[in-house]
Amino acid sequence: MKKWSELKDSSFFDASARERAVGLVDKGTFTEFLHPLDRYCSPHLVVLGQAVEFDDGMVCGVGLLGRHPAFIISMEGRFIGGAIGEVNGAKMVGAIRLALTAAKEIKAKYPGEYEAKRPLVVISFETGGVRLHESNAGLLAHAEVMDAFQDCRHIVPVVSVVGSKVGCFGGMGFVAAAADVIVMNEQGRIGLTGPEVIEQEMGKEEFDASNKALVYRTTGAKHKYIIQDCNYLVEDTIGDFHKVLGEIAGKSMEEIEKMRRIGSIDLVREQQELVKLVGDMQPKDSMDVWKHFGNENPAALPELSTAEFLKTVKRRARS
């Protein structure tokens, strides 16, 4: 694996789960939980005669962002498309619970320094959702992760990081949206149903999955940023993600709470207003929505670099 200094300038999109996990925290601070040598793999795949990975396609551990312990969960899309099952789902929940335990212990031991040492959870999503081989066990894992998120509210920030090859789809699209903060690069994609599945079920006339420009306009980071479903849009380097995570770690819980998309009656109403807007507009393309929010030349936005895009884009106003 690359050294930390090399990871800093490496593409987040191309990085493995372990490279992302190591590079998202400060140099030399990452310690992995349930390393592949511990051989925690899915019992369901063995029964079905499927190949296994000894980390079950999930890297979990802890490192530092300044003085803040960062509990890292990083998914590997090269193993069953990053799909979530019983074991890797349990690893996610376990890491989140460890972050809550750490928060409690730090607050008790260092009450005057708690804000400067408060932990956070960072999840690098690369997944198509539930692992069909494990059906109910995978679905239960989704629910348990969401439940753990609720336990973190107002205590430990949970940050979704999306920018790897598979994207973040299926039930994990819901999970990513339920976090406090979402950070994406331009290559990141979030959705409930993947483009190929929509085309398969509804036909190419409904959604052409081979039209990559359409896919990114619909599920991609620039669209998510415009409609305020993405809080930070960064360049495609592990170092840029690391930098913004350091900024997030230093924010107060009040600031973190304001970044959420769901979790209160007011936020539900805000989302309902967006749904109503789309219903009234009946847009043929996401660019129609972009123009509604003040972007006079929406067709130019996909071609802009991240830096140029951030300078010129108009976003949906939040209430």
Residue 9 belongs to some domain of the structure: yes
264 Cβ contact list (under 8 Å, min separation 6): none
Amino acid identity of residue 297, one-letter, is N
Mean pLDDT of 66-87: 95
Q: What is the pLDDT of residues 27-61, one digit of tens each?
A: 999 999 988 888 888 888 888 888 888 898 999 99
Q: What is the pLDDT of residues 202-231, one digit of tens each?
A: 888 888 888 899 899 999 999 999 999 999
> Cα–Cα distances in Å, from 312 out to 232, 255, 297?
15, 24, 10
Residue 65 belongs to some domain of the structure: yes
Cα–Cα distance, 188 to 161 (Å, whole number)? 9
For residue 148, the tally of other CB atoms under 10 A from its CB is 20
Residue 288 belongs to some domain of the structure: no
- If we measure between CA atoms, which residue out of 51, 55, 53, 4 comes closest to residue 25? 4
Mean pLDDT of the chain: 94
* pLDDT band at residue 2 using 50, 70 and 90 as cut-offs: confident
Cα–Cα distance, 132 to 159 (Å, whole number)? 26
pLDDT confidence of residue 67: 97
Are 70 and 242 in contact by the 8 Å Cβ rule? The answer is no
pLDDT confidence of residue 203: 86
Q: Which domain holds residue 235?
A: 4-190+229-260
Are 242 and 8 in contact by the 8 Å Cβ rule? The answer is yes
Cα–Cα distance, 301 to 148 (Å, whole number)? 37
What angle, rounded to 10 degrees, do the helices at 135-152 and 86-109 form?
Answer: 20
Residue 223 belongs to some domain of the structure: no
- By the 10 Å C-beta count (0-12 exposed, 13-18 middle, 19+ buried), 194 is classed as buried
Residue 305 belongs to some domain of the structure: no
Are 99 and 119 in contact by the 8 Å Cβ rule? The answer is yes
Residue 220 belongs to some domain of the structure: no
Per the document, the length of the chain is 319
Q: How far apart are the first and last CA of the chain?
A: 45
Overall domain count for the chain: 1
Evaluate if residue 319 carries a pLDDT over 80: no
Q: What is the pLDDT of residues 152-208, one digit of tens each?
A: 999 999 999 999 999 999 999 999 999 999 999 999 999 988 888 888 888 888 888
Residue 198 belongs to some domain of the structure: no
pLDDT confidence of residue 294: 96
CATH code for the domain of 180: 3.90.226.10
pLDDT confidence of residue 272: 93
Residue 139 belongs to some domain of the structure: yes
Cα–Cα distance, 101 to 92 (Å, whole number)? 14
pLDDT confidence of residue 26: 98
Helix (H, G, I), strand (E, B) or coil at 161: strand
Mean pLDDT of 269-287: 92
Please give the full DSSP string across 212-248, using - where no structure is assigned.
HHHHHHHHBHHHHHHTTS-SEEE-SSHHHHHHHHHHH
